[in-house]
């Protein structure tokens, strides 16, 4: 296999880093509190037990450990010294690794869209595209958070894991194209969420090394924290408190050998179990523990603890639609750096020189169709014989991957308004539950997509972007290339008179910002306490009613810190 140009760039990058004395393993911290679950006792006691060492779980554990004893249980391994996680150019590699030890666990929603969930300490922040941006102050007000503590918590996160990205030529052209397309004003580099075009933050540092929520464990008090890796929680354990009301008091988990361990809360009215297992993991674990819709749990022979029909409801995934634009010029490897925040409810973002959709598609998947529709479109129709097409396809397939250069401009539907639901498939917590997102069920979501795609067209046709596109690849050809690529499991079709609504539905992908399942107001209260049982909270993206900011991770990390501070201040009040 020939090395793709972007792999060459990545290798050159790595050489550069080596030369300057950086390497992932050198930067790996030596957390004295982190161990393999195989070495854990079969029985232990803590003030707080957190299930899921992800984007919210890590900052939460680091904070609580300041003034209490904390156990953090993560089913995956350590993110350190794994170049599929640490290096930006490996974004697609981690997502296409479907082995049991991969930090990414693939799932396919009932909608037919290929998706991914994290399975590693640091969670989604270890496998995501790195874009870092805050929620709007209106969002913060609307959900009822304390604005000042929110800002302090964002800063606490940013001090360790957020950076200004170095903009290459291709991202700069997208930025200028957005402004030409009328997504104004240009707000420069900022973490803030305001209308117009901006350069956002990133968790990749200037050397291209990823920083993750696991780095926030640097803030932990090592004597207050135990982090167990390869610790898969099977159940939350409940005690009866009187009047039939249940109280969470422990968890059972298994290590990598399958051996069973239990951890319980120490005596103390303030002690709690906190679930931070993510939008798929948290509702799944609640159901496996007997908290969920009674009939569904009964069908799986799970003993009912609390009939809570809202667990697993309100699942949403923001639809993403992208257009791939082959480039005559070399482009930099970039993930999301520039974003257009429109006033019609869609966000425009872009990535270049990268196996962006990781397993669902690659630039090659898009471009291999171009002999049929691209180059040959400049040949008079009569000469476009089957033989000529066949030869061109063969030629393209044999090309160096260097030829497959270009980038994606994508559009994310805000919100979204459409919702779905999650159900158990099995009683094994390591299996994916079944999830349905109902993309574009609400016509307003579809309208936002159409307007987003129309904006992408304006960017591609802008003067600023012209050097990164082939003139002969007209807009219908670009759309056909996208519609022909294996982006999802839906049937493929395209014709130039097809309304953009059909294009949106047929080429829908995920931007991996799925959320819900344990929403505030339905499953948990404003303090993230589970309604109907005691000593149990859920703190992660499963609690959102709406995805915050243009991209959620900043707010998920912030929430871990924010709730940690709130919980400690309740604990220390008398």
Ligand X SMILES: *[C@@H]1O[C@H](CO)[C@@H](O)[C@H](O)[C@H]1NC(C)=O
Q: Does residue 408 interact with ligand FAD by CB under 6 A?
A: no
Q: In what order do the strands lie in the sheet with 536-538?
A: 34-36, 225-229, 70-73, 48-51, 272-275, 536-538
Other Cβ atoms closer than 10 A to 300: 14
Is residue 218 within 8 A of residue 34, CB to CB? The reply is: no
Residue 30 interacting entry, from ligand FAD, ligand X, none, C-beta within 5 to 8 Å by type: ligand X
User: What, of ligand X, ligand FAD, none, does residue 93 touch, CB below 5 to 8 Å by kind?
Assistant: ligand X
Pick what 339 binds: ligand FAD, ligand X, none; C-beta below 5 to 8 Å, kind-dependent: none
**How many whole angstroms separate alpha carbon 308 and alpha carbon 195?**
39
CA distances from 241 to 244, 250, 524, 525, 535 (A): 7, 14, 19, 20, 11
Pick from 45, 51, 535: nearest CA to 246: 535
| CA angle (388 as vertex; 386, 392 as ends), nearest 5 | 115
Partner interacting with residue 276 (select from ligand X, ligand FAD, none; CB below 5-8 Å by kind): ligand FAD
Closest CA to 178 of 445, 462, 408, 372: 462
Q: Is residue 556 at the binding interface for ligand FAD, with CB under 6 A as the rule?
A: yes
Give the x/- contact pattern for ligand FAD in 85-124, rule: CB under 6 A. ----------x--------------------xxxxx--xx
- For residue 513, say whether it is annotated as part of any ligand binding site: yes
Question: Residue 301 touches which of ligand FAD, ligand X, none (CB < 5 to 8 A by kind)?
Answer: ligand X
Strand ranges (DSSP E) for 61-200?
A: 70-73, 104-108, 114-118, 131-132, 186-189, 196-199
DSSP assignment, residue 204?
A: B
**Does 326 sit near ligand FAD (CB under 6 A)?**
no
Q: Could you tell which of ligand X, ligand FAD, none binds residue 89, using a CB distance below 5 to 8 A set by kind?
A: none
- Six token digits for residue 413: 């539907």
> What x/- string results for residues 25 through 44 when contact with ligand X is judged by CB under 6 A?
-----x-x---x-x------
**What x/- string results for residues 19 through 58 when contact with ligand FAD is judged by CB under 6 A?**
--------------------------------xxxxxxx-
The token duo for 169 is 């030529």
Residue 124, binding choice from ligand X, ligand FAD, none, Cβ under 5 to 8 Å by partner class? ligand FAD
323 appears as a binding residue in the annotation: no
CA distance linking residue 464 with residue 338, whole number of Å:
14
CA distance 354 to 362: 8
Question: Binding of ligand FAD at residue 333 (CB under 6 A)?
Answer: no
Peptide bond into 523 cis (omega under 30): no
Q: How near is the Cβ of 37 to ligand X at its closest, in Å?
A: 7
- The region of 144-152, 162-170, 510-518, 519-527 touching ligand X under the rule CB under 6 A is 144-152
Distance between CA atoms of residues 379 and 128, nearest Å: 42
Question: Does residue 153 interact with ligand X by CB under 6 A?
Answer: no
User: Is residue 230 close enough to count as binding ligand FAD by CB under 6 A?
Assistant: no
Smallest gap from Cβ 325 to ligand FAD, in A, equals 20
Establish whether 541 is an annotated binding residue. yes
Near ligand X by CB under 6 A: residue from 257, 303, 383, 497 = 257
Tokens of 323: 């257009």
Nearer residue to ligand FAD within complex by CB, 347 or 465: 347
Is 192 a binder of ligand X (CB under 6 A)? yes
Active-site residue list: 513
Q: Which residues of 3-25 are buried (b: 16+ CB within 10 A; e: fewer)?
A: ebbbbebbeebbeebeeeeeebe
Nearest approach, Cβ of residue 544 and ligand FAD (Å)? 9
6 is in an annotated binding site: no
Residue 5 CA to residue 404 CA, distance in Å, equals 8
| 86 touches ligand X by CB under 6 A | no
Residue 170, annotated as binding a ligand: no
Pick from 63, 78, 232, 519: which binds ligand FAD (CB under 6 A)? 232
Rg over CA atoms, the chain: 24
Beta strands, E only, 230-337: 232-242, 245-254, 260-265, 272-275, 291-292, 306-307, 313-315, 319-326
Q: Write out the binding residues for FAD.
A: 120, 233, 512-513, 541, 552-553
Q: Write out the binding residues.
A: 120, 233, 512-513, 541, 552-553
- What is the binding site for ligand X (CB under 6 A)? 30, 32, 36, 38, 63, 66-67, 77, 82, 84, 93, 96-97, 134, 137, 147-148, 151, 192, 229-230, 256-257, 300-301, 369, 372-373, 480, 484, 494-496, 565, 568, 572
């Amino acid at each position: 296999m020939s090395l793709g140009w972007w792999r060459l760039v990545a290798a050159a990058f790595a050489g550069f880093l080596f030369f300057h004395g950086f390497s992932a393993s050198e930067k790996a911290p030596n957390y004295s509190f982190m161990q393999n679950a195989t070495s854990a006792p079969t029985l232990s006691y803590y003030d707080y037990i957190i299930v899921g060492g992800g984007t919210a779980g890590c900052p939460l554990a680091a904070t609580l450990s300041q003034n209490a004893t904390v156990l953090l249980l993560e089913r995956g391994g350590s993110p350190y010294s794994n170049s599929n996680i640490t290096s930006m150019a490996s974004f697609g590699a981690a997502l296409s690794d479907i082995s049991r030890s991969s930090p990414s666990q693939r799932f396919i929603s009932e909608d037919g869209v290929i998706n991914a969930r994290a399975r590693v300490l640091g969670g989604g922040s270890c496998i995501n595209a790195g874009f870092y941006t805050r929620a709007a102050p209106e969002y913060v007000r609307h959900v009822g958070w304390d604005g000042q503590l929110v800002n302090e918590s964002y800063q606490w996160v940013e001090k360790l894991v957020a950076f200004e990205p170095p903009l290459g030529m291709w991202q700069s052209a997208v930025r200028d194209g957005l402004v030409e397309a009328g997504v104004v004003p240009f707000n420069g580099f900022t973490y803030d969420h305001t209308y117009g075009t901006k350069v956002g933050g990133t968790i990749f540092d200037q050397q291209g090394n990823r920083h993750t929520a696991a780095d926030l464990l640097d803030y932990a008090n090592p004597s207050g924290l135990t982090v167990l890796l390869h610790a898969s929680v099977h159940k939350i354990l409940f005690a009866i408190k009187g009047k039939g009301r249940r109280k969470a008091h422990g968890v059972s988990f298994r290590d990598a050998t399958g051996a069973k361990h239990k951890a319980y809360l120490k005596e103390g009215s303030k002690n709690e179990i906190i679930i931070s297992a993510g939008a798929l993991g948290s509702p799944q674990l609640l159901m496996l523990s007997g908290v969920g819709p009674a009939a569904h749990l009964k069908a799986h022979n799970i003993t009912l603890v609390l009939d809570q029909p809202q667990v697993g409801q309100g699942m949403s995934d923001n639809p993403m639609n992208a257009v791939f634009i082959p480039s005559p010029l070399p482009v930099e490897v970039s993930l999301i750096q520039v974003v257009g925040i429109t006033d019609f409810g869609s966000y425009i973002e872009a990535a270049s020189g990268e196996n962006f959709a990781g397993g669902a598609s690659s630039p090659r998947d898009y471009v291999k169709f171009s002999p049929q529709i691209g180059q040959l479109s400049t040949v008079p129709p009569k000469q476009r014989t089957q033989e000529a097409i066949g030869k061109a396809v063969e030629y393209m397939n044999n090309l160096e991957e260097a030829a497959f250069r270009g980038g994606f401009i994508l559009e994310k539907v805000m919100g979204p308004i459409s919702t779905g639901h999650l159900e158990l498939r099995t009683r094994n917590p390591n299996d994916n539950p079944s999830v349905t997102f109902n993309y574009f069920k609400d016509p307003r979501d579809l309208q936002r997509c159409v307007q987003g795609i129309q904006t992408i067209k304006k960017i591609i046709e802008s003067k600023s972007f012209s050097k990164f596109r082939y003139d002969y690849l007209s807009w219908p050809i670009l759309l056909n290339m996208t519609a022909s690529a294996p982006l999802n499991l839906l049937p493929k079709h395209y014709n130039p008179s097809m309304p953009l609504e059909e294009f949106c539905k047929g080429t829908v992908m995920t931007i991996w910002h799925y959320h819900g399942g344990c929403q505030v107001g339905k499953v948990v209260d404003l303090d993230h306490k589970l309604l109907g049982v005691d000593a149990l909270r859920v703190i992660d993206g499963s609690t959102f009613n709406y995805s915050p900011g243009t991209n959620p991770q900043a707010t998920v990390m912030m929430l871990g810190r924010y709730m940690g501070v709130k919980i400690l201040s309740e604990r220390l009040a008398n």
